[in-house]
Structure 1
Amino acid sequence: MTTTLDRRLHAFRPDLADEALKGSVEASAFVPGEPARISVPVAQLRPVPDLARGIDTELLFGETVRVFDRAAGFAWVQADQDGYVGYLPEDMLGEVEASSHRICVTRTFVYPQAELRKPPIAALSMGSRVTVVGEAETRGTRYFELATGGAVIAAHCRPIADVLGDDPVTIAEKFVETPYLWGGRSGFGIDCSGLVQLSMMMVGHKVPRDSDMQAKIGSEITREELRRGDFVFWKGHVGFMQDKDTLLHANGHTMTVSRENFEAAVKRIGWLYEQPTAYRRFPLER
């Protein structure tokens, strides 16, 4: 089998592969994959079907995947959002349905009915996709009723096609103090490249998942040109510039999303990740 394809972005094994890879890889069988939808608040994606292994990334409620294989309680999938490939428990998948809205706040609750005094039945992260089938109001608070059951605060949702402005840093700032989680991509825990990807997604830009992939997009600039919205990359790390002197990033030092003086951060990070490898600027074309 070829070793030139990135296993994170291409579904191939010796016994089975995505039919789109015919001619590029060797496999005993090729399949197109079947559509499915994430049915839990956060689904952790792993490189192997083993819950003891570390996670590569996370998929959010309502996001869709293609399923290439189901075995021993796991599904081998590829995310439609960013093409990431991996394994997750099969019971985290449901049937595909068209999403109408997306959660636009860092975190929100799903209530059993349109009543905030009821114990919530779930919590959803920013970026989660829901299907609204009705509306209700209780004591002046407006709710959306969901196809999957329960109700969410209407003000915490936006139509699926809407974007939250054009500044991803404004989105990333909402996550300050969110716990750092290796492989995390949600309001419950997030890593450096997950913060970049989720923030960019909410303002309408689709970018890759991992920092080494993200370092290839946008245009290169110099350190002296840094301003709000620019990105700084290290080997294995990425952060937003909140302004020309302040780095905003999810990091394992504070174990949170935090703000840090840029020069101090470069000095601190240097012992582990050496000096920055790239400075890059958006916007990207949508």
Structure 2
Amino acid sequence: MPAPDLSVSATSAVRVAATVLWTGPDAPREIDAPIVAAVPDPRGWAAGLDVPARRDLADRVLTQLLAGEPVVVLEERGDWLRVVAPWQPSDLDPRGYPGWVPRAHVAQAAVPARTEAVVTVEAVRLEPDPGSRGDGLPSELTYATILPVLAETGTRVRVALPGGGSGWIDARACVVRPTGDGKHVEAGAVFTEARRFVGLPYLWGGMSAFGLDCSGLVHIAFRALGRIVPRDAHDQAEAAGRVPVGEARPGDLYFFARPEKSIHHVGFAAGPGSDGVLLHAPRTGEQVREEQMNADRRATLVDLAGRLAD
């Protein structure tokens, strides 16, 4: 699948550090108040969910969206918007991943610039410009957030934010690159990005450094390097070039499916050939880890691996 242009124009974009794309306005529970607040707390929300509460997300949460991520508004309903997210390709809608977000989390998209900053750490503090203070801006930005660059000082980078705000982040916490850079993405580099999340708890629909699911781990590792790939495992398999499992290299993808069923899991090949070492986000209650495949994984391993990197 060709990589979409990250400079894609959109009239609206996410204005908070991270938000959730829900199945509907009635999907959030009382425990989800921190993530649906006007200024959400994605870190606190994830930390406050125990295993049963995380399991209960499966029919509620679709994915997450990060600051600056474009959205196309399809419908308005009270405090909620039905949108599609173009940076997360999906077979559910050719325009992008569909779902519902709080209206307060969306604003006018920032004007694209010649360069963009990509956050490369778990989280970085955002220091709002004086004129932006009190405008509900996030206090931090998370890994793989992509925002237009307004200025650089050598130690800090000034970024534009949806809604007309702007702020400064530490230059050591980001990479500045040409907007929409279509550079080649090497499998080894993608694998290195994904590996940094070993130990992070699994979170259904997670797409940030505060929690990831299996396909979220794949998507965010590619996005940080400038390539947009589909959001869900079965779509990632459809978009990938296919190679025999025995020819998989670190950074290629292993897919898993039961007989006559759709693909239900994805992870990175972590060793050469078919040695069965897997880097993945296993399931709720577990953490991202690198491990030898167990018997169930081997039994459900699809016989062709996926290659999304160059």
TM-score (norm 2): 0.68
Q: CA deviation at 1:283?
A: 4.3
- For 2:184 and 2:246, the matched residues in 1 are separated by 29
Q: CA deviation at 1:145?
A: 2.9
- For 1:46 and 1:280, the matched residues in 2 are separated by 31
Q: CA deviation at 1:109?
A: 2.1
Q: CA deviation at 1:261?
A: 1.2
Greater mean alpha carbon deviation, residues 187-196 or residues 48-57: 48-57
The answer (yes or no) to whether the contact 1:239–1:250 under 8 Å persists in 2 is yes
Q: Deviation digits for residues 239-280 of structure 1, max 9, x if unmatched?
A: 001213321001226622111113x3xx1547xxx5123432
The answer (yes or no) to whether the contact 1:164–1:202 under 8 Å persists in 2 is no
- For 2:173 and 2:141, the matched residues in 1 are separated by 10
Q: CA deviation at 1:234?
A: 1.2
- For 1:205 and 1:98, the matched residues in 2 are separated by 21
Cα distance change on mapping 1:69 and 1:226 into 2, 3 Å: same
- What pairs with 1:1-286 in structure 2 (closer than 5 Å)? 35-50=11-26, 51-52=28-29, 54-82=60-88, 83-99=96-112, 100-112=116-128, 122-136=139-153, 142-147=155-160, 148-158=165-175, 159=177, 160-162=179-181, 166=186, 167-235=189-257, 236-244=264-272, 245=275, 246-252=277-283, 255-262=286-293, 264=294, 267-269=295-297, 275-283=300-308
Cα distance change on mapping 1:242 and 1:284 into 2, 3 Å: closer
The answer (yes or no) to whether the contact 1:231–1:279 under 8 Å persists in 2 is no
Runs of at least 5 residues in structure 2 that lack an aligned partner in the other structure: 1-9, 30-58, 89-95, 131-136, 258-263
- For 2:184 and 2:211, the matched residues in 1 are separated by 21
Runs of at least 5 residues in structure 1 that lack an aligned partner in the other structure: 1-33, 115-119
Cα distance change on mapping 1:156 and 1:165 into 2, 3 Å: farther
Aligned to 1:8: none
The answer (yes or no) to whether the contact 2:194–2:218 under 8 Å persists in 1 is yes
The answer (yes or no) to whether the contact 1:241–1:248 under 8 Å persists in 2 is yes
Q: What RMSD, in angstroms, separates the aligned Cα atoms of the two structures?
A: 2.6
Q: CA deviation at 1:165?
A: 5.4
SS at 1:172 equivalent? helix
Q: Deviation digits for residues 51-97 of structure 1, max 9, x if unmatched?
A: 23621101110010110111120000011212100001000001111
TM-score (norm 1): 0.74
The answer (yes or no) to whether the contact 2:199–2:289 under 8 Å persists in 1 is yes
Name the aligned partner's letter for residue 257 of structure 1.
Answer: V
The answer (yes or no) to whether the contact 2:245–2:305 under 8 Å persists in 1 is no
Specify the structure having the higher radius of gyration (Cα).
1
SS at 1:197 equivalent? helix
- Determine what percentage of the aligned residue pairs are the same residue: 29
